[in-house]
């Protein structure tokens, strides 16, 4: 699980190093993982209804002999603080649990434009 302390560190790092203004809306990407692609496909529906753009479902390209792992990537332009992003992560952990997904695997961020 991503801790609030890790969110503090992320925002501190972005303030110092990111080439974008973190006080403005940014493009946030979020990732869910499961060995069953169908579960991720089904999870797209409620996420789309919440305004998330579906970027895609990708295979982790497993090495021979290991089971495939699929990744659902969604995005949304949002403005976050440490507290709001921490709350969003908690919502997504709960979402993954409710939809019986292996994991909510975290997020990435970039400029909205």
The answer to the question of residue 39 being in a domain is yes
The answer to the question of residue 21 being in a domain is no
The answer to the question of residue 63 being in a domain is yes
Q: Report pLDDT digits (tens) over 33-63.
A: 999 999 999 999 999 999 999 999 998 876 6
Q: Which domain holds residue 99?
A: 32-111
The answer to the question of residue 99 being in a domain is yes
The answer to the question of residue 3 being in a domain is no
Confidence grade of residue 85 (pLDDT, cut at 50, 70, 90): very high
Alpha carbon separation from 25 to 28, 38, 66 (Å, rounded)? 9, 32, 39
- Average pLDDT on 75-104 reads 97
Q: Number of folded domains in the chain?
A: 1
The answer to the question of residue 101 being in a domain is yes
pTM: predicted TM-score of the whole model, two decimal places: 0.92
Per-chain mean pLDDT for the chain = 93
Residues 104, 91: Cα–Cα separation, whole Å: 10
Task: Specify the CATH number for the domain of residue 107.
Answer: 3.30.70
């Amino acid at each position: 699980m991503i801790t609030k302390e890790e969110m503090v560190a992320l925002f501190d790092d972005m303030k110092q190093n990111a080439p974008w203004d973190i006080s403005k809306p940014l493009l946030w990407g979020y990732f869910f993982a499961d060995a069953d692609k169908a579960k991720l496909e089904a999870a797209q529906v409620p996420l789309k209804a919440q305004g998330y753009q579906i970027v895609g479902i990708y295979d982790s390209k497993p090495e021979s002999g290991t089971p495939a792992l699929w990744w659902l990537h969604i995005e949304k332009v949002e403005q976050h603080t440490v507290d709001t992003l921490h709350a969003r992560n908690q919502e997504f952990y709960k979402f993954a649990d409710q939809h019986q997904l292996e994991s909510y695997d975290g997020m990435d961020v970039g400029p909205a434009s």
